[in-house]
A and B are shown apart, each in its own frame.
Chain A
Amino acid sequence: MRGIKDRVAIIGMGCTKFGERWDAGVPDLMVEAAYEAYADAGIDGKDIQAAWLGTVSSFRTGQPLADALKLDYIPITRVENACATATDAFRNACYAVAAGIYDIVLALGVEKLKDSGFSGLAIPEAAGSDVAPAVPPPSQFALAATRYFHHYDIPYEQGKLTLAQIASKNHHNGTMSPKAHFQREVSTDQVVNAPMVAWPLGLFDCCGVSDGAAAAIITTPEIARTFRDDYVLVKGLGLSVGAYGIMRNDWDFVHFPESVRAAQASYQEAGITNPREELDLAMVHDCFTITELIIYEDLGFSPRGRASEDVEAGTFTLEGELPVNTDGGLKCFGHPIGASGIRMIYEVYKQLQGKAGARQLKKAGLGLTHNLGGRPGSFTCSVAIFGARD
């Protein structure tokens, strides 16, 4: 197996303002993201040889991308892999370039969630017998939070405070992220005392439900060199899909095996043995605060059961040992489902290029994105690693 390391490069990226985009329809969002990426790469729509469109509920096919961008009869594939959709669209685009089929391709993720009229996620499920409990996403992860507190014998108040520190950190980062959905500080008191959504998770433990789009132009390192000096190399692409649901009694509910497996695959490709030391930043899937806490352990940033100590120590803040969710994460940047994975890559790309503005890290040579779809027991998890060119 040759793996993906150093075989493809990103030469341009775009990302819309995330949020309640009452002003923009799905085509508007796609155009906004794609044209920023074109300009960043210095290409034109006619240079795109193939495209992958990631969306969970906005479209069923890739055709609307061609329609919005007026792409010229090129192959387009729509990708859907729950909340890990965008990273998987990106991954498939990378493989097509690595296989030598195309020179320049586009991966674009988009989601329009705020036309539903509902404040939470309102994605219709497929018809069936409809007897399985319709468990809203906050509860899916509240099940993990309840068990995590119990498993590690963490008093409720202490556990809530740890989660609040994660939310507060991401809100702080969001204030330096002009394109983020939310841009204000939130104190740990505010998080702890917010109304309950799915006990033990309150309103500020949950990420934003947003509209937005993000795009990446992918090519080979050889071609990338002809476009710009600061292209970004793909170092690893791991994807793991869970198969056992919650049917096994021996699963502890305090780790997500899909995250562990996807990270292992990606670390192996990238040649990473000590992620905490080797990585300079990570953008992880903080759909809920408890998810980010568990991810710290699943990705090997913290020992099992000890992530709370690292949160307390400030390990994952902008100034910390391993900054996580430097742009505010799903929590503040927002979560248009089919776009989020490429938004994460956008932040790593900008950090690696030294163009992240007020939140720019001093050292940013190797970054990770972690994109998690589905529900505990049945996740689709994508972990990708990116490096600045040597």
Chain B
Amino acid sequence: MVGIAAFGGYVPRYRLGPETVGWNSPQERSIANFDEDSVSMAVAAGVDCLRGWDRRSVDGLIFATTTPPYAEKQCAAIIATALDLRRDIFAADITDVLRAGTTALKSALDSVAAGSARTVLVIASDNRAGAPRGDTERNLGDGAAAFLVSGDGVVAALEGSHSITENMLDSWRSAGDPFVRSWEDRFAAEEGLERVLSDAVSGFLRKQGLSPQDVTKVALYAPDGRRHGQLARKAGFTPEQVQDPLFGKMGNTGAAFPLMLLAAALEGAGPGQLLLAVSYGDGSDVLGFRTTEAISGLDPRMGVTGYLGSKRQISSYETYARWRDVWVTDAAARRPTPASPSVTALWRESDKNLRLYGATCNQCGYVQYPAQNVCVNCRARDDSSPLRFSDQPGTVFTYSLDYLAGTTDSPLVITVVDFQVGGRMLCMMTDRELDEVQIGMPVEMSFRKLRVVNGIHNYYWKAIPQRTTV
């Protein structure tokens, strides 16, 4: 039985909302911090999905997004390393289309069904940008969802799928364009969304010999809240059958959107329910899943719902504009331009930087980050075992608030973190409010983008105030 064995979600901590000066909307939407992107959010969702799983058991990773940081260079490889997956896995990026998330999920289900892999991790993540103060910007959100597709132990089994492919320029973004563009929305809605999604859903139900009433919840893509209600009605669903699309709380998260809604549906589901994920973009994919008895036995996870509840509205739209480089400020001009990181060093230090491996000394048991040739405690040479710190909780031992470092979120919070398992690390703190930073505060590690120099997106782990409550 092929299906979903585990799932996870990620929503950034920050929101534009009623308390945000200059946002001028009663609606909330999620926004990635300045150091987050589709790759970093994908790692967070992957961590959430794999809670309680042996990460080395994953045989493949498919990453879906319309906002990859690289035009040439695989993102799945970065994500797989940060998630500490094995080296002998299949990995792919599926990009450029809004329905990339369901495409990735369907590909993973197909490869498991075909027997080419036992477990494949699928992560969809997006942080699309609309032009400042436009409708698109208002309706978008940032976030990610992850699914572990497997041939056994599934919490939701695949019932079937149906796809339509139809060339359509209703929204698009050319290479080099910062913002999503769209055609007149009445045309796009009538000849695009409504027609295509109705055909896709009815096609799926016909194929399965089902009627709309048989569906428990539908995780349905739509660009905004108003369209979402219309589309659900047109497809024949009652309001009770429609998974809350989270407009006004999160927003349209692009390629991740239907998958995040599916994850949210799974979070609230009991056994025996039929859940539909319906995507849109140059056609549509419909995937139907039936939950199993195992759904109630899954380890606790944050999920989309948990992360949605862990939030903070930013104080001003100006902050958001700075995060997106729409508003270029002088802050970074205080320091010399950084040189390109050495690609050789990045490659050599991959275990230390991306997997966040420290070590436990095999002689004396001392835990240390980073791993040393000579033990910091007993001087044993080259005799230690790797220890992954990325999912280790810690507390702040000391900190400073640096007004000279020239980061986007000045002052930069520099911390020394003591991990519960042992080991101490000097790291930056992000997703922080200054009034919550104090000695002894609980923190966890989060994968973030440090900076882009020479076209190289340099990622590393930062401390964040504890968000995980499971």
A198 in contact with B403 (CB, 8 Å): yes
A246 in contact with B416 (CB, 8 Å): yes
**Which residues on the A side are within 8 Å of B418 (C-beta)?**
249
State which of A133, A195, A201, A245 has its C-beta within 8 Å of the C-beta of B414. Answer: A133
A199 in contact with B401 (CB, 8 Å): yes
A129 in contact with B377 (CB, 8 Å): no
Binding site for B on A (CB under 8 A): 116, 118-120, 122, 124, 127-136, 138-139, 142-147, 150, 195-201, 244-249, 253
A245 to B377, CA, bound (A): 12
Q: Main secondary structure on chain A at its contact with chain B?
A: loop
**Which residues on the B side are within 8 Å of A131 (C-beta)?**
341, 349, 353, 450, 458-460
A128 in contact with B400 (CB, 8 Å): no
Residue B428 lies at the interface, judged by CB distance under 8 Å to chain A? yes
State which of B338, B346, B398, B425 has its C-beta within 8 Å of the C-beta of A143. Answer: B398
A120 to B453, CA, bound (A): 22
State which of A124, A200, A247 has its C-beta within 8 Å of the C-beta of B376. Answer: A247
Q: With A130-B458, A134-B405, A199-B400 given, is the CB distance from A139 to B345 under 8 Å?
A: no
Known: A120-B335, A131-B459. 4 other contacts (CB 8 A): A138-B400, A142-B400, A196-B403, A244-B376
Of residues A127, A131, A145, which shows the largest number of chain B Cβ atoms within 10 Å of its Cβ? A131
A133 in contact with B353 (CB, 8 Å): no
The A-B contact count (CB < 8 A) is 129
Sort chain B's interface into a size bin: 35 or more
A136 in contact with B341 (CB, 8 Å): no
**Which residues on the B side are within 8 Å of A135 (C-beta)?**
402, 405, 414, 426
Nearest CB to that of B440 among chain A residues?
A150
Q: With A244-B376, A247-B424 given, is the CB distance from A116 to B336 under 8 Å?
A: yes
B336 in contact with A147 (CB, 8 Å): no
Q: With A135-B402, A139-B405, A196-B411 given, is the CB distance from A122 to B341 under 8 Å?
A: no
Residue B439 lies at the interface, judged by CB distance under 8 Å to chain A? yes
B342 in contact with A128 (CB, 8 Å): yes
Q: List 24 A-B contacts (CB under 8 A).
A: A118-B336, A119-B334, A120-B335, A127-B341, A128-B345, A129-B458, A130-B341, A131-B450, A131-B459, A135-B414, A138-B404, A139-B412, A142-B414, A143-B398, A143-B416, A146-B439, A147-B439, A199-B402, A201-B400, A244-B376, A246-B426, A247-B369, A248-B376, A249-B424
Closest 5 CB pairs of A and B: A142-B400, A199-B401, A147-B398, A131-B460, A130-B341
A151 to B342, CA, bound (A): 39
**Which residues on the A side are within 8 Å of B348 (C-beta)?**
129
B398 in contact with A129 (CB, 8 Å): no
Residue B317 lies at the interface, judged by CB distance under 8 Å to chain A? no
Residue B427 lies at the interface, judged by CB distance under 8 Å to chain A? yes
B414 in contact with A139 (CB, 8 Å): yes
A284 to B341, CA, bound (A): 36
Residue B229 lies at the interface, judged by CB distance under 8 Å to chain A? no
A144 to B398, CA, bound (A): 8
**Which residues on the B side are within 8 Å of A201 (C-beta)?**
400
Which residues, 366 to 419 on B, are CB-close (under 8 Å) to A? 368-369, 372, 376-377, 397-405, 411-412, 414, 416, 418
State which of A128, A136, A145 has its C-beta within 8 Å of the C-beta of B402. Answer: A136
A114 to B422, CA, bound (A): 42
State which of B340, B404, B422 has its C-beta within 8 Å of the C-beta of A136. Answer: B404
